[in-house]
Amino acid sequence: MPLQSMVPMLKKAQTEGYAVGLFNAHTLEGIMAILKAATEQRSPVIVAPVFLPRRAAVALIRELAADLPVPVAIELDHGRDFGAVMECIRVGFTDVMIDASTRAYDENVALTQKVVQASHAVGVGVEAEIGHVGRGEHYADMDALRATLTRPEDAARFAADTGVDLLAVAIGSAHGLFKGELDLQRLRQIRAVVDVPLSLHGGSGLSNEDFQAAIAGGICKVNIYTNMALAAVAAMRESLADTTVNYMGAQRAIQEAIKEVVVHCMQAFGSVDRA
């Protein structure tokens, strides 16, 4: 089916109590694995191409999605400036994320408002972040992590000030492999004062139980990359150790390894059979 915005996907997920996965991809094997998993699981999916020519990535995903019976969205993940957002809109991304979470509140709001105005004018959904989800290696102790968590009052004010479609919140996860602890009470407090769908970044360090608790607390989108990358590297090493495996065989093994991670996540998120 044609590409579609993640916004209706996430509103449905919010209403019905599950989450849709966003999966980063920077190779053909990754894109194919994500879309195959979505088709097999009959799950909506969001693909975030990274380190690829944007126009070519959108063209490829659009053509592959046209033959699939599941909804597929393409989002710019962690866009840092207005120029990157506009480029992605021009080449056909269905949704964009503007991440000014490291800036002062007023600067974050001003840039996000600008992105929302431009994106909504052409039917593109917008995600932004309040609080800050950093990388695991940046958090030497829990005090460093707590300082970056989203405050419920800031989330409510930010959503109202910007008109975003999706709000990324910091509740204890981090990019990369990071064994933090989710602040579920904080999440429930945010959910109580924010109506728009909420997203969780840094999902690779979390357990199925963490995912389910976060979804029960109001999360309806989860971003995944690191676990997919680790699975791909393991499959690559195993293929290289087998002298009978050729290049195409190694590619198939990598694709299958990534697909297994995506399938596992879709099942944990509750998005199976929701297409």
Is the Cα dihedral 62, 68, 71, 72 positive or negative? negative
Is 41 within 8 Å of 23 (Cβ atoms)?
no
| pTM of the predicted structure, to 2 decimals | 0.94
pLDDT (0 to 100) of residue 136: 46
Is 38 within 8 Å of 4 (Cβ atoms)?
no
Q: What token pair was written down for 62?
A: 């659009």
How far is Cα 135 from Cα 137, in angstroms, rounded to an integer? 6
In whole numbers, what is the pLDDT of the chain averaged over residues?
Answer: 92
What is residue 129's three-state secondary structure? Answer: strand
Domains along the chain with CATH numbers: 6-269 (3.20.20.70)
How far is Cα 75 from Cα 77, in angstroms, rounded to an integer? 6
At position 196, the amino acid (one-letter code) is V
The position carrying tokens 């102790």 is 141
Nearest to 223 by CA among 238, 203, 242, 205: 203
The one-character DSSP state at 151 is P
The two counts, helices (H) then strands (E), for the chain are: 11, 8
Is 21 within 8 Å of 265 (Cβ atoms)?
yes
Which residue did the predictor score with more confidence, 204 or 152? 152
What is residue 96's three-state secondary structure? Answer: strand
Catalytic residue positions, numbered: 77
Q: pLDDT tens digits, residue range 112-169?
A: 999 999 999 999 999 999 987 755 445 555 555 566 789 999 999 999 999 999 999 9
Q: pLDDT tens digits, residue range 22-60?
A: 999 999 999 999 999 999 999 999 999 999 999 999 999
The position carrying tokens 């989710």 is 182
At position 67, the amino acid (one-letter code) is D
Is 115 within 8 Å of 95 (Cβ atoms)?
no
